[in-house]
Structure 1
């Protein structure tokens, strides 16, 4: 027995030793790619020396030597991006190219298929030829900086540049100017949601027994009414209602199209000097995107010949997308311009290689495209284009449900332009010093369309940039549902003049802003959109702006971090109107008692979605359960597509606008249900769900336990053990309808998980520009072993910021490293 014990002890010790050695080896290999920020080296691609000063937050301040060109500074940005975010950049490039499956196998086949069909990367290559000389110089220099880092990694054996490269054999090709343009187009893909809205509106129209009720569940933003649209079945005869039973859509690895309700969102507001306590203009911006680790944003400062610029960049793109110079600040919000239209194309029944055009049948433009798949045989696609755009397969986005036999669906979209000059506009914007010059620079933006909020020393303005499609007033669906592609009145008729884009300069009140709300009410076809990103946050913003005669940097920060829900304050009195303080006394432990406790808590609540309070969780669960009860009977399987509560729908139902209270009656039951009964049943549903998940002590609930910010690694985030090192999870306040926005997933088992939020916040005060502040949601580095991987995450969660100065001395004073790069002959 003793002999056996000794051998077991030796075996155990050996296994432990091997485990320790394995962990040490993994750590050693992974740590080889940690950047050294304090060094001197010579690299090809430079004309003059460049200095990259990393301040104490690891933000690179990039300086050329005296007399150096701007190209050397762009080289430095490319080098810094590749130092910190090489894996992220290469994955984004492969996504745009439709080449992920070479690395990840069949898990990304659908992503590759979609990107190949859109032909994003080939269009980016074609767009290189139309860039301005300044933009081409920046793109080439930036690519040279990225490639110089790749050369350094190869020459010095720096762990393949990122630890993920050891897990996935991903050869990294030299960076090209087209790669940066493709990533900008990829961002447009994440910010566009009108295609999904068209599909959902068509599916909902087919599912509803009373098609007039579509205005309830898919309501228009408040404002002038819209003339009634025909039912989708009338627009496209032959579509089958019986097809509306497809399973719920599942998430796909690295799929760049945001789920419905999670397309781009943002806040931006500005105050003129007359409304500023310090006498200078103010600007605040916080763009909202899906959360990830590392985040989308990367902070940087570029010292260009026209002056310094600092703010948020996107790795892969050589521009400060949102930020400021000494003279000008600029912020972005999604405009929600309707820049996508779906068309139902009729196939020639005698030759399916042809479709019906305006003048008869014509051949598709087609070509084969081969997708290589790791450990699998390659897949050959036949890419087809009509006059309206690329043809999408029926398997995508449930298109088969709304496509009649003998037809296919194509997509028109402004980003599918081979002459996309958006990159030139972004480069030009950084060099402008006045609001008027910035507006002029914005003309070259094509996609994604954005609201550009601007502030110089004297003026504030908002200008919508991006290509506006021209539609015929006789368009069958007004661009709200797929329409017949062979009818000339449905087709796009060019781009509207830039002067027609919405523009607001120096408003009389001295304050302007945008929360993705409806900004004007022009009739179709001169409108911007029928579907807007916000009908709720704007009300809270108006109140906060009007509460003060003058504003400060701190009051703008306070507004950015505000967590009071206008929606909760509006809806709770409606849905609980007949429930508050009613009913008989109920013993502890009964359903009635729990309902009374919940209602008592909610009756004293001010609508603040604070992470430490129980009321936000009770409210959110109640609203979710209520909408589910209201729509499941009417919509059947289509109800699963409505993952987020639509406040205007609930309000219409409980105010009985145009008979909307009809949603409260269950069609398939004999009794006549009313809205009070629905509210009570939904509250019980919510309390049961809460008890099963968090226990029955309602007073002890925390909203933040359910509303955790899920900043997950897109590839390693679900890998056992590794996920604990690469994912960043933290309790957060706010909701999808608060200014501190935290949109929930809407998916079980964690429907309130915060997955879409402000990855960047910046507030600029031009009375004292160097007092400006900013923050990103994770950190500068994409390397999980770096202390800069998540060092800003807790600051971001707590609503804190770091200084945002263009003072070179301040950057150098506490620098964590200085990299000096000289030209290599």
Structure 2
């Protein structure tokens, strides 16, 4: 027995030693890819010496003797810090993820292959002007110089992930950068989702009830739509399509409905600024990841310094400032996508119907290589309207009649895309008018470009606006017959038709994805705007003071008051507050009274430390589910987020919307008060099961954690605790400090979408401008810069955004000096 014990002890000790050795070895090899920011190196592709000065936040300040070298330096810096992110984005655009990850990403690859974003990017290289093409080539040279350095010096393959997913890294090319921009356009798109859900709902509800659950933004001038089934007389359409509850891979670039692009931006002219200079604040909203989509950088160009937010893979400051101009972006929600139903030739399925008769599809074979599985051969098809999409993509099969397929028209599907060239021209602009002029070549993604120079402010919608005909059958709101001439696009509207606001008399302008203007179709921009709530709070904050400062703009960015809660709670609780006698302790009635008492004293602030936001959010979510579940059945699952205008229409009984409160399956007629009471009980039961019954000790931040997950390793046991970043956060779906919730699963209130970048630019004192991102500059999990900015971001703090080179050098944590080889 003692001998057996000794041998067991020796084996256990040996195993522990081997595990420890493996861990030490893994950390050692992973640490080899940590970049040394304080070094001298000779590299190929430079014309003259270059300096990359890293400030205390690890923001690279890039100084070169010419612009081409500066963009070389940006490529080098991006590759130092975000190589894995860049290569993953490139593979996503190419439809080549399955070569690394196997069948789990096959759906993404097949979808991207059908769109052919990468092929369109390759073709678009030819239409860039010479300056832009040189810039793209120099950036690529910088990325490739870092790749060569990694190979020559055995620097751990450039990132730890490459040890787990071994692959050779192809050199970066100009087309790769253009493909990244197209990928961002896909991430920010959402009109296709809206068409599909509207079609599905219209198959089971009358038009007036569709207007309730998918309400238009307030305003006039909308044209009534036909029912979806009326567009396809005699066709067999499903009247009650089932919900498909499929898990989405984190690398899928097309966001679920309600989680596409968003953002805030506002500006003040000198007349509304306390210091007499213009002000501009911008916080673009995207899905949270680790590392962040955004990367901070400063470029010293021949036209002067520029500083702000970049996206690794794209050599341009997308939101930021120079000494003369600040610019910011929000998603316009422009209707730049249309789904077409294409009728197949019953005698030849290789043909589809056009206004001039049947024509053959344009086709091409494409082979997807799949790790540990057989390759998949796709037949890619295009119609005159756009690429043909598979029926299993995004519920398209549920709205497609038999004998038909769907195609997608989208502005980003251009092989002559000059959007990047336009973005560079905006970055180089010296005035508001220069930047507006530069925006003419921008095609996709459509954005609201907010501008502030030293004197003026402006907002201009940039991006191609499809020219639809007035007689379009569905006004672009529903999938339409592709063989009808009146439904097809007739090119694009003139750039002058894009909404534009320059030097407003009131001295304040802004956008929270709200409705910009009210114009009749087809100059309408869109029917489906992204916000009807945050804009109300923004207007109140802007007009509550005569003049603004950098601090008041920061305060607005950090504002957590939900105007939605302030509006809806008095409506849904009108007959519940303070009614009835005190109930015995421990009963559901007593718990309901306690919750109502808390909410009665609440000002609508979605503060992470308060219990009221969680009670409110759970109640309003349960309420919407009770209102729509009996009418929509499985389709109710598609409504993952509360639509405030729907709740308001129901409880104000707008156009008879109060009928939603009656439960169809019951004999009695329920009132809206009864539904509100039952929903509150539902919410309290859910809260008790998840967080306990002590309502006063609840914290909104426990449910509303920001989830910055690594897109590949975020779900791997053990590793996920090292690569994922969690932060307790304030805000919510409808606050200016926007923290869009997941809406599904066991933790529906986790914060998954918000301001990954924030910047406030003050032209009374430009170097007092500030910015921050949600994680850190580095994508390397062993770097101290992996999440060092995240805590500042969570607390509403920023880092300096100065163009003073002496200030950058004085606080430098490292200087990389590159010289020509």
Which bin holds the TM-score, normalised by the shorter protein? Answer: over 0.9
Inter-partner Cα distance in structure 2 for 1:520 and 1:171: 50
**Residue 302 of structure 2: aligned partner:** 305
Larger mean CA deviation between 333-342 and 235-244 belongs to: 235-244
Q: Give per-residue Cα distances to partners, 1:271-321, cap 9 Å, x unaligned.
A: 001110001000000000000000000000000000000000000000000
> Which residue among 334, 339, 342 is the counterpart of 1:337?
334
- The offset of 1:243, in angstroms, is 5.6
Q: Which deviates the most, 232-241 or 379-388?
A: 232-241
Query: Given that residues 203 and 240 in structure 2 are in contact (C-alpha distance below 8 angstroms), is that contact kept between their aligned partners in structure 1?
Result: no
The match for 1:216 among 212, 216, 225 is 212
Tell whether the 8 Å contact from 2:269 to 2:278 is kept in structure 1 after alignment. Answer: yes
- CA deviation digits over 1:791-823, x for unaligned, max 9? 001100000000000000000001110000011
- For 1:703 and 1:765, the matched residues in 2 are separated by 33
Q: What's 1:128 paired with?
A: 125
Which of 64, 72, 91 is matched with 1:94 structurally? 91
CA distance in 1, matches of 2:552, 2:239: 54
How far residue 4 of structure 1 moved from its aligned partner, in angstroms, is 2.3
Q: How far, CA to CA, are the matches of 2:246 and 2:150 in structure 1?
A: 41
Q: What is the CA-CA distance between 1:569 and the residue it aligns to?
A: 0.1
Q: 1:167 aligns with which of 164, 169, 179?
A: 164
Using the TM superposition, give the Cα deviation of residue 247 of structure 1 relative to its aligned residue in structure 2, in angstroms. Answer: 2.5
In structure 1, C-alpha distance between the alignment counterparts of 2:221 and 2:680, rounded to whole Å: 33
Match of 2:533 in 1: 536
- Give the superposition deviation at 1:2: 2.3
Asked if residue 262 in structure 1 is aligned to residue 259 in structure 2, the reply is yes
Instruction: Give CA deviations for 1:60-104 in whole Å, capped at 9, x if unaligned.
Output: 00000xxx2200000000000000000000000000000000000
TM-score w.r.t. the length of structure 2 is 0.99
Provide the C-alpha distance between the structure 2 equivalents of 1:717 and 1:34, rounded to a whole number of angstroms.
Answer: 20
User: For structure 1, which runs of at least 5 residues remain unmatched after alignment?
Assistant: none
- Provide the rounded CA distance (Å) in 1 between the counterparts of 2:2 and 2:245: 60
Residues 115 and 387 in structure 2, CA contact (< 8 A), matched pair in contact too: yes
Instruction: Report the Cα offset of residue 583 of structure 1.
Output: 1.7
Q: Aligned equivalents of 2:697 and 2:236: distance in 1?
A: 51
Any conservation in 1 of the 2:289–2:708 contact (CA below 8 Å)? yes
Aligned twin of 1:235? 231
Aligned: 1:459 with 2:456: yes
2:594 alignment partner, SS class: helix
CA distance in 2, matches of 1:8, 1:408: 66
Distance in 1 between residues matched to 2:558 and 2:620, nearest whole Å: 23
Aligned-residue offset at 1:13: 1.5
Deviation at 1:225, TM superposition (A): 4.6
The 1-side partners of 2:601 and 2:179 are apart by 51
CA distance in 1, matches of 2:94, 2:472: 34
Q: Deviations over 1:403-426 (max 9, x none)?
A: 000000000000000010001011
> How do residues 499-518 of structure 1 correspond to structure 2 at under 5 angstroms?
499-518=496-515
Partner of 1:18: 18
Q: CA deviation at 1:20?
A: 1.0
Residue of structure 1 equivalent to 2:774: 777
The 3-state SS of whatever aligns with 1:451 is strand
* Equivalent of 1:251 in 248, 253, 256: 248
Q: Is the 8 A contact 1:207 1:636 kept in 2?
A: no
Question: Deviations along 1:554-587, whole A, 9 cap, x unmatched?
Answer: 0000000000000000000000000000122211
Task: Give the distance between the partners of 1:675 and 1:236, measured in 2 at CA.
Answer: 37
Residues 207 and 638, structure 1, Cα contact 8 Å, conserved in 2: no
> Matched residues in 1 for 2:243 and 2:280: separation?
46
SS in 2 for 1:226: coil
Q: CA RMSD in A?
A: 0.8
Contact 2:83 2:159 in 1 (8 A): yes
Contact 2:204 2:240 in 1 (8 A): no
Aligned to 1:747: 744
Describe the superposition over 1:19-43 as per-residue Cα deviations: whole angstroms up to 9, x where unpaired: 1101100000100000000000111
CA distance in 1, matches of 2:119, 2:470: 33
Aligned to 2:657, what secondary structure does the other structure show?
A: helix
Residues 288, 707 of structure 2: 8 Å contact kept: yes
What is the SS of the residue equivalent to 1:463? strand
In 2, Cα distance between equivalents of 1:243 and 1:126: 42
- Aligned in 2, Cα 1:596/1:243: closer, same or farther, shift over 3 Å? closer
8 A Cα contact 1:329 1:455, kept in partner? yes
2:760 equivalent among 763, 772, 781: 763
Conserved in 1, the CA contact under 8 Å of 2:98 and 2:105? Answer: yes
Q: Which deviates the most, 12-21 or 639-648?
A: 12-21
Instruction: Name the SS of the counterpart of 1:52 in structure 2.
Output: strand
**Aligned residue pairs: how many?**
820
Partner of 1:436: 433
- Structure 1 CA distance for aligned equivalents of residues 232 and 439 of structure 2: 38
Cα distance between partner residues in 2 of 1:447 and 1:617: 38
C-alpha offsets along residues 337-389 of structure 1, whole Å, 9 cap, x if unaligned? 00000000000000000000110000000010000000100000100000000
- Measured against aligned partners, the alpha-carbon deviations of 1:538-567 in whole angstroms (never above 9, x if no partner) come to 000000000110000000000000000000
Q: CA deviation at 1:212?
A: 2.2
Distance 1:789 1:776 in 2: 11
Given candidates 46, 51, 74, the residue that maps to 2:71 is 74
Partner Cα separation in structure 2 for residue 246 and residue 259 of structure 1: 14
Superposed counterparts of 1:184-195, under 5 Å: 184-195=181-192
Match of 2:222 in 1: 226
In the TM superposition, what is the alpha-carbon distance from 1:613 to its structure 2 partner?
0.2
- Contact residue 708 and residue 753 of structure 1 kept, 8 A: yes
C-alpha distance in structure 2 between counterparts of 1:685 and 1:204, whole Å: 26
Question: 2:174 aligned with 1:200, yes or no?
Answer: no
Q: Is the 8 A contact 1:134 1:427 kept in 2?
A: no
Cα contact 2:250–2:711 (8 A) shared by 1: yes
Secondary structure in structure 1 of the residue aligned to 2:291: coil
SS of the residue 2:730 aligns to = coil
Aligned match for 1:395, one of 392, 408, 411? 392
- Give, in whole Å, the separation in 1 of the partners of 2:708 and 2:719: 14
Q: How far 1:248 sits from its partner (Å)? A: 2.0
Q: Which residue of 2 aligns with 1:567?
A: 564
Counterpart Cα distance in 2 of 1:805 and 1:181: 29
Q: Is the 8 A contact 1:39 1:820 kept in 2?
A: yes
Is the contact made by 2:58 and 2:777 (CA closer than 8 Å) also made in structure 1? yes
Aligned-pair CA distance for 1:123: 0.2
SS state at 1:376 partner: coil
Q: Residue 319 of structure 2 aligns with which residue? A: 322
Which range is displaced more, 242-251 or 702-711? 242-251
| TM-score in terms of structure 1 length | 0.99
Secondary structure, in 3 states, of the residue corresponding to 1:331? strand
Q: What is the deviation of 1:10?
A: 1.6
